[in-house]
Amino acid sequence: MNEDRARLDLAYEASLLYYNDGRTMDAIATRLGVSRPTVSRLLSLARDAGIVQIAVKSPEMTSLSRDLTALTGVRVTTVPTPGTVTHVRRLQRVCEVAAPVVADAVEDGTTLGVAWGTTTSTFASYLKPKDVHSVNVVQLNGAANSVTSGILNSGGVLERFAEAFGAHMHFFPVPTYFDYFETKEAMWKERSIRLARKMIDACTVAVFSVGAFSAEIPSQVYSGGYLSDEEIRNLRADRVVGDVCTVLLREDGTWEDIELNARATGPAPDKLATIGRRICIVAGEGKAAALAGAVRARAMTDLVIDDALAEALHKRLLS
């Protein structure tokens, strides 16, 4: 009896560290002086014994969410945000709501593709640890440019995803955009790059946002030196409004004939479409045109957005 009681007490302590403090199972194992598998068993015991009670609730679907879902075929969650909040807080609120959506999609054996960027960097900090096994986290798009390796942009994001799901990280060590298409073709033949691309091909879940020229919070692709001023002028002249996974697109959803996309390293919309669950997280009305393009390109299966952006998107899709 004393042994059973001691194990329940240990399960209670492990649960506090995992669910309340957000510690990883490795950290808990070190703290309690046990193995990682023992921590997993303790958490299972806590659930079975009623120490931990988990309730999963579907987010309330507003009429606007229903209208957008019917219009686009995408599962849309709109996040109420007062008009007086800052753009940063609006993004944070959307990320808070999106976190359980992503966590619910990650199961044992998931290969999770993540496109780095301003939104996914913010979003990653809202992930809570989930007890899953054999998960891989894969960088979907290159991050280097002429002035930076991009490691700080992409590495930190992947690390936070990996920590939340106890996952193995797989980097994609290439530029965001190659200077020459011929260089990209040659790199794609390298064994190390072929291995990275094979991991991308294996993705079963993807998490990404939409970049835009006119976003309230600047998208890193347009503010971080990834494109020259001349390239941006030319893209605007070609009616480009933003990107998905650094693949540029127009509001009508077209992207195939945009020259720079031949040198991009992120997955194009038709490549994304091979991934079963594609969760897009976007905040700010300034991204409405780019998001409309991404929706028309069928880039996502799930969309979490703030209500002001949802209204702007609805108008654009109906116009």
Angle among Cα 244, 245, 249 to the nearest 5 degrees reads: 35
Per-residue confidence (pLDDT) for residue 6, from 0 to 100? 82
Q: What is the DSSP string of 232-291?
A: HHHHHHTTEEEEETTEEEETTS--TT-GGGGGB-SPPHHHHTTSSEEEEEE--GGGHHHH
Residue of 155, 275, 139 whose CA lies nearest to 203: 275
Residue range 226-273, pLDDT digits in tens: 888 899 999 999 999 999 999 999 999 999 999 999 999 999 999 999
- Stronger pLDDT, 62 or 289, i.e. the higher one: 289
What is 2-48's CATH number?
Answer: 1.10.10
Per-residue pLDDT band for 151 (boundaries 50, 70, 90) equals low
Per-residue pLDDT band for 48 (boundaries 50, 70, 90) equals confident
Least confident of 142-151, 155-164, 285-294: 142-151
Question: To which residue do tokens 């986290």 refer?
Answer: 137
pLDDT at 317 over 70: yes
Per-residue confidence (pLDDT) for residue 23, from 0 to 100? 83
Per-residue confidence (pLDDT) for residue 286, from 0 to 100? 94
In the chain, where are the structural domains located?
2-48, 63-318
Per-residue confidence (pLDDT) for residue 149, from 0 to 100? 47
pLDDT at 148 over 70: no
Per-residue pLDDT band for 58 (boundaries 50, 70, 90) equals very low
Per-residue confidence (pLDDT) for residue 152, from 0 to 100? 55
Mean pLDDT of 50-73: 77
Per-residue confidence (pLDDT) for residue 233, from 0 to 100? 93
Per-residue pLDDT band for 172 (boundaries 50, 70, 90) equals very high
Average pLDDT across the chain, whole number: 90
Residue range 82-113, pLDDT digits in tens: 878 889 999 999 999 999 999 999 999 999 99
As a whole number of angstroms, the distance between CA 303 and CA 153 comes to 23
What is the CATH architecture of 63-318? 3-Layer(aba) Sandwich (3.40)
Q: What is the pTM of this model?
A: 0.79
Look up residue 42 and give its two tokens: 């303790």
